[in-house]
Amino acid sequence: MELGSRLKIIGESLMHIVYPNHCQICNADLNTMEKHVCLNCSFELPYLKDADMHQAALEQVFWGRVEVNQVFSLFNYQKGNQVQGLLHQLKYHRKFKIGAYFGEVLGKDILPNEPFSYVIPVPLHKKKMKERGFNQSEIIANGIAKVLKVPVETKYVKRVIHNLTQTNFSKYDRYNNVRGIFKVVKPERLIGKHVLLVDDVLTTGATIEACASELLKIKDCKVSIATLAARI
């Protein structure tokens, strides 16, 4: 083993002793070859492994509703499964490393596709942002953008209405709840651009559809969608 490689391993081992690194899901100690999530937890997560088949199913969510180019997602989201717990850790326990890390993993799946001009996280309303202090979709977007080498843009789309959480609404009521809640700022900056719109999870698609619809009002603007997880 070369001296440089040895020193790197020694350095990582010392950092692990001084600043213990734990799995962001189960809290077990990580070894020097693991990053943010242990191999056991990573292996058990329900990845959407057949990319082409699942991408087609994801795109069907928006058929007849809004014209999107492509839809990407990393995990199968079902109530009570490991992914729900993972998203809960990110959203309510500030486990930011989870979002950034799996954003990078998702970015590697997206990378071979058509290039994007911007990565745009679905925004929170300023009141919600003040309460929470962060936007989980932006954390995921940063991980994706790191791999794609595309800028994250948070100034062009605003959430102008502080709507109620979607959790307790029926599928029909979810669409009414998000109607008109987004506004594009300086739309001329997005003319002819292809943007990747990022959210944490895709269920009915109502919120993402409302955001994408505003972007698609811009001349020659194309929208693709990426979420960390999707219920399909």
Q: What is the pTM of this model?
A: 0.84
Query: Torsion angle, CA of 62/68/74/79, rounded to 10 degrees?
Result: -20
Pair 84, 26 in one domain: no
Pair 200, 221 in one domain: yes
Decide if 82 contacts 74 (C-beta within 8 A). Answer: no
Query: Residue 175 has what pLDDT?
Result: 57
Tokens of 79: 């109530």
Query: Residue 8 has what pLDDT?
Result: 46
- Quick one: which of 192, 99, 93 has its CA closest to 146? 99
Tokens of 15: 């950092």
Give the pLDDT band (50/70/90) at residue 9: very low
Domain at 102, CATH number: 3.40.50.2020
* pLDDT of 87 over the 50 cut: yes
Percent of the chain topping pLDDT 70? 84
Pair 25, 135 in one domain: no
Pair 157, 167 in one domain: yes
pLDDT tens, position by position, 209-223? 999 999 999 999 999
Pair 176, 208 in one domain: yes
Pair 35, 58 in one domain: no
* Coil, helix or strand at residue 68: coil
Query: Residue 77 has what pLDDT?
Result: 92
pLDDT tens, position by position, 71-80? 999 999 998 8
Query: Residue 166 has what pLDDT?
Result: 47
pLDDT tens, position by position, 152-163? 999 999 999 886
Pair 86, 27 in one domain: no
Residue 12: give the domain boundaries. Answer: 1-44
Query: Residue 72 has what pLDDT?
Result: 95
Cα dist. 22→3, 31, 141, 143, 207 in Å? 28, 9, 23, 19, 33
Domain count, the chain: 2
Pair 62, 109 in one domain: yes
pLDDT tens, position by position, 146-203? 999 999 999 999 999 886 554 555 455 555 667 789 999 999 999 999 999 999 999 8
Pair 28, 130 in one domain: no
pLDDT, the chain, mean: 85
Pair 60, 39 in one domain: no
Tokens of 88: 């809960």
Pair 116, 205 in one domain: yes
* pLDDT of 29 over the 60 cut: yes
Pair 104, 176 in one domain: yes
